[in-house]
């Protein structure tokens, strides 16, 4: 990545609970310097990973971008965007081409032709193909070839992992970004982006399950032999845990979020029955006492449901016995205490929390070391490893007069948002 030193990439994570913009560039050592970060609440503009209110989402994007621009002194014009939601589906498909000259070497163009053919595949009405990911190739009935470039052969076949999503969901993301005055460089599936920032090459080779627990959804991506083998989106995330606490403990939603973040545990037996949390009463009513054990029982029940669905996806993939790398948990929901232990108990696989620090240089590492930034940093890494901005308008350092103008706009947006509730710790 050293040749991309001057290329500045902005990852834009439009999530159910937060919109996050991360500005980064590669340094001479191949690591990523984080130049600036902007993070604001979604304010109801996104539901389960899908845009549900254009105007609210645009305001959140503008606010996050202006904050990141001010901190990084970068004129942000293009962004790498993530997409998620329960509408995401995946399938396996096999393609084949017959080459006219079996004596000539198989080229990159041959692989591209095979891959492009996959985009012509018929999918469900209203869906579009987001990613075509090669698995392995077969040359003249010789299977299991990872890179056939340079080989001779007449019949070239390929297995592909294809990820689809609703056209309307993608269009709404494009619309929000464009109404914010930005251009979309690329749109990527969020668990693929998160995998870039939290998984090691050794884990992907040995077999690993990435579980990204966001506010509205839980994204699952399974890797084996350094290739993605299975993807899925579970329509439950941190917000449904908050709703469970709200109803189970009979408290307001803001209090439920606070209880989850500060006192929640995914393992009830790790909580002391005598621990009590007191929250303010409503309109002069006496304070309400909440048992930490009862709170943890509510949380454990929902997390266990989510992990059982993760286990179902693992079994569906057929790789249950080939996952030496275990499970890597990331996203805001992974910050729950003891969640890795519960994941191990339900799935029988080892588990760890994934922090997006491996590829980062010094600088703003402290600001982005939380799992909540895994997707945003992954989008930056994807942008730096590609060449999609060549010849196009790009992000560049701000001039002094632009800094003043953008700083004023950021102040206006911040004022507009100042009365909104924003629980920072669990986005």
Strand order in the sheet with 218-224: 227-234, 218-224, 208-213, 327-330, 351-353
Same domain flag for 185 and 80: yes
pLDDT at 364: 65
- As a three-state string, the secondary structure of the chain is CHHHCCCEEEEEEECCCEEEEEEEEECCCCCEEEEEEEEEECCCCEECCEECCHHHHHHHHHHHHHHHHHHHCEECCEEEEEECCCCCEEEEEEEEEECCCCCCECCHHHHHHHHHHHCCCCCCCCEEEEEEEEEEEEECCEEEECCCCCCECCEEEEEEEEEEEEHHHHHHHHHHHHHCCCEEEEEEEHHHHHHHHHCCHHHHHHCEEEEEECCCCEEEEEEECCEEEEEEEECCCHHHHHHHHHHHCCCCHHHHHHHHHHHCECCHHHCCCCCEEEECCCCCCCCEEEEHHHHHHHHHHHHHHHHHHHHHHHHHHCCCCCCCCCEEEECHHHHCECHHHHHHHHHCCCEEECCCCCCECCCCCHHHCCHHHHHHHHHHHHHHHCCCCCCCCCCEECCHHHHHHHHHHHHHHHHHHCCCCCCHHHC
Which of 355, 388, 408 is the endpoint of a domain? 355
Domain hosting 111: range is 89-164
Same domain flag for 63 and 119: no
10-residue averages of pLDDT along the chain (427 residues): 64 93 89 91 85 94 95 92 89 91 88 93 91 92 91 93 92 94 92 93 95 93 92 92 92 91 91 85 82 93 96 95 96 94 96 91 76 94 70 56 48 42 41
Same domain flag for 21 and 170: yes
Which of 355, 372, 391 is the endpoint of a domain? 355
Same domain flag for 245 and 349: yes
Same domain flag for 350 and 280: yes
- Cα gap 90→339, rounded to integer Å: 27
Other C-beta atoms lying within 10 Å of the C-beta of residue 144: 8
Which of 324, 355, 386 is the endpoint of a domain? 355
- Residue whose C-alpha is closest to residue 217's, from 382, 30, 375: 375
- Cα gap 389→396, rounded to integer Å: 12
Residue with tokens 């196009």: 392
| Contact of 212 with 398, CB cutoff 8 Å | no
Same domain flag for 188 and 212: no
pLDDT at 47: 87
| CATH number for 406 | 3.30.420.40
Same domain flag for 213 and 334: yes
Same domain flag for 233 and 342: yes
**If you count them, how many residues does the chain have?**
427
Same domain flag for 188 and 75: yes
Same domain flag for 270 and 339: yes
Same domain flag for 191 and 221: no
| CATH number for 156 | 3.30.1490.110
Question: How many domains are there within the chain?
Answer: 3
pLDDT at 326: 96
CA distances (Å), 152 to each of 106, 113, 273, in order? Answer: 6, 17, 69
Same domain flag for 70 and 140: no
């Amino acid at each position: 990545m050293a040749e991309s030193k001057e290329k500045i990439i902005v990852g834009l994570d439009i999530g159910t609970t937060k919109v996050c913009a991360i500005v980064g560039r590669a340094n001479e050592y191949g690591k990523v310097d984080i130049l600036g970060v902007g993070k604001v609440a979604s304010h109801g503009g996104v539901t389960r990973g899908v845009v549900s209110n254009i105007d609210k989402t645009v305001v959140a994007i503008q606010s996050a971008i202006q904050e990141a621009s001010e901190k990084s002194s970068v004129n942000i014009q293009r962004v790498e965007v993530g997409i998620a939601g329960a509408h995401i589906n995946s399938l396996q498909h096999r393609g084949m081409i017959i080459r006219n000259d079996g004596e000539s070497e198989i080229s990159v163009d041959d692989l591209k032709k095979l891959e492009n053919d996959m985009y012509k595949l018929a999918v469900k009405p209203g869906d579009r193909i987001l990613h075509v990911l090669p698995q392995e190739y077969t040359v003249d009935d010789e299977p299991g070839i990872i890179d056939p470039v340079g080989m001779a052969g007449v019949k070239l076949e390929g297995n592909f992992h294809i990820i689809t999503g609703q056209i309307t969901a993608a269009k709404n993301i494009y619309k929000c970004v464009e109404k914010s005055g930005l251009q979309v460089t690329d749109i990527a599936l969020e668990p693929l982006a998160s995998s870039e920032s939290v998984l090691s090459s050794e884990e992907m080779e040995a077999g690993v399950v990435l579980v990204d627990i966001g506010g509205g959804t839980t994204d699952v991506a399974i890797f084996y032999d350094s290739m993605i083998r299975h993807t899925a989106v579970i329509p439950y995330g941190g917000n449904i845990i908050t709703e469970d606490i709200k109803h189970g403990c009979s408290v307001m939603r803001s209090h439920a979020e606070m209880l989850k973040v500060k006192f929640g545990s995914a393992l009830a037996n790790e909580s002391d029955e005598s621990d009590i949390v007191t929250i303010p009463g409503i309109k002069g009513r006496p304070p309400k006492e909440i048992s930490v054990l009862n709170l943890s029982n509510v949380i454990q029940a929902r997390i266990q449901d989510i992990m059982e669905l993760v286990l179902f996806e693992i079994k569906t993939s057929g790789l249950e016995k080939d996952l030496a790398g275990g499970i890597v948990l990331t996203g805001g929901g992974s910050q729950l205490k003891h969640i890795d232990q519960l994941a191990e108990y339900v799935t029988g696989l080892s588990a760890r929390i994934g922090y997006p620090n491996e590829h980062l240089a010094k600088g703003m590492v402290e600001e982005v070391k939380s799992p909540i930034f895994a997707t945003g940093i992954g989008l930056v890494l994807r942008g730096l490893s590609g060449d999609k901005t060549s010849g196009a308008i790009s992000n560049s350092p701000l001039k002094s007069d632009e800094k003043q103008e953008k700083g004023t706009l950021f102040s206006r947006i911040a004022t507009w948002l100042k009365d909104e509730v924003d629980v920072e710790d669990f986005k």
